[in-house]
């Protein structure tokens, strides 16, 4: 995790795709040191929430369709809502009523490039929701794509890269963010970058 600190990331996200991967949580969090960290669970229960609180998680990424309702009453852990567009478009207006800190949406899911459709979805969320907008991608973003996202209101990146490329990839992203225009067309906030630690059956990946 030293590479993440050098790249000046704002937080580390641990993506757990199943119960068999939860045992790796303690090992990874022990190496994080002072960087804020959170967990993205594909499946969540009240028991999982209690374990994450005890482990010291700073935030949780959840999906409305699978997260237990008691999550919204948890005042000790930061909450980021994962939105699936266009499926959730009819519910966007209710997001501002939730006790959450940010909204997350995936981009570049359908191909190698950031599409106009991706930008339209981000624009929609940024215009309607009064929470910071984050985007997640498993494909590398170019400097120009990062600037496009910045201009439509995106304020954070959740990126996944292979462990052997961790230092180089995160440093490049950090430099690209620092080179963004000081005053975007929409807002003046800074953009954040969150690396994602993802566990799979074949290899360990980090963002």
**Number of domain units in the chain:** 1
- H/E stretch holding 173 reads helix 166-178
pLDDT at residue number 200: 45
For residue 20, pLDDT over 80 is answered with no
Q: Which string of DSSP letters, residue by residue, matches 9-26?
A: -S-EEEEE-SGGGGGGHH
Average pLDDT of the residues in 154-178: 78
**Higher pLDDT among residues 198 and 85, named by residue:** 85
**Higher pLDDT among residues 163 and 157, named by residue:** 157
> In which domain, by residue range, is 123 found?
2-206
Using the CB atoms, write b or e for 87-126: b if 16+ within 10 Å: ebeeebeebeeeebebbbbbbbeeeeebeeebbebbbbbb
User: In CATH, what number is assigned to the domain containing residue 138?
Assistant: 3.20.20.70
Beta strands 154-159 and 133-137: pairing type?
A: parallel
* Whole-prediction pTM: 0.78
- H/E stretch holding 128 reads helix 116-128
pLDDT at residue number 63: 87
**Higher pLDDT among residues 180 and 205, named by residue:** 180
Give residue 140's pLDDT band: very low, low, confident or very high (50, 70, 90). Answer: confident
User: CA nearest 205: which of 151, 158, 171?
Assistant: 158
Give residue 207's pLDDT band: very low, low, confident or very high (50, 70, 90). Answer: very low
């Amino acid at each position: 995790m030293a590479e993440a600190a050098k790249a000046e990331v704002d937080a580390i996200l641990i993506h757990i795709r199943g119960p068999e991967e939860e045992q790796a949580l303690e090992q990874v969090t022990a190496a994080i040191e002072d960087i804020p960290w959170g967990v993205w669970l594909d499946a969540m229960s009240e028991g999982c929430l209690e374990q994450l609180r005890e482990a010291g998680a700073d935030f949780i990424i959840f999906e409305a369709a699978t997260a237990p309702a008691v999550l919204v009453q948890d005042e000790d852990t930061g909450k980021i809502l994962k939105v699936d567009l266009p499926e959730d478009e009819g519910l966007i207006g209710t997001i501002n009523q939730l006790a959450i800190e940010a909204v997350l949406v995936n981009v570049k899911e359908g191909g190698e490039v950031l599409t106009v459709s991706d930008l339209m979805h981000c624009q929609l969320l940024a215009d309607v929701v009064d929470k910071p907008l984050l985007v997640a991608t498993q494909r590398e973003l170019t400097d120009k794509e990062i600037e496009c996202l910045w201009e439509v209101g995106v304020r954070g990146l959740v990126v996944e890269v292979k462990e052997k490329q961790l230092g180089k990839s995160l440093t490049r992203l950090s430099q690209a963010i620092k080179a963004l225009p000081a005053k975007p067309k929409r807002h003046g906030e800074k953009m954040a970058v969150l690396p994602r630690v993802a566990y799979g059956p074949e290899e360990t990946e980090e963002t």
